[in-house]
Amino acid sequence: MSLPVHNVALLTPIGAPAPTTSARPAAANPAVPFADVLAKTDGVTFSGHAAQRLERRGIAVDGPTLQRLDDGVRRAAGKGARDAVVLVDQTAFVVSVTNRTVITAVDQQHMKDHVFTNIDSAVIA
């Protein structure tokens, strides 16, 4: 059995002080905590595509919005839905109810000409 190979780019050079703060810059818009939203495992999760749509369209997903979305998904699951559109305020979230995963999100500005296909339920949350 061979010893594990360490990535030298991740190691602190000998004699250098250990970093005390994160090298990541602060979030540009604290109203959209993507890391918190994506890390949430007991409620709904967001696919990579959905996260890109949220960011590109500037859709804020704060705590109350996430709670209402999760409630809508729970209600849809209780009725036996598999794929649903959950409307929260001015945003439509297309959700795989069985996986509890948001597939995409569309705000009112981009919803004008959209047709939602392959869904079996709609929930107003």
The 10s digit of each residue's pLDDT in 98-112 is 999 999 999 988 887
Phi-psi region of 45 (alpha: psi -120 to 50; beta: other; left: phi over 0): beta
Instruction: Please tell me whether the overall predicted TM-score, pTM, comes out greater than 0.75 for this model.
Output: no
Specify whether the CB–CB gap between 84 and 119 falls below 8 A. Answer: yes
Condensed to tens digits (0 to 9), the pLDDT of residues 12-49 reads 666 666 656 555 555 555 555 555 555 544 689 999 99
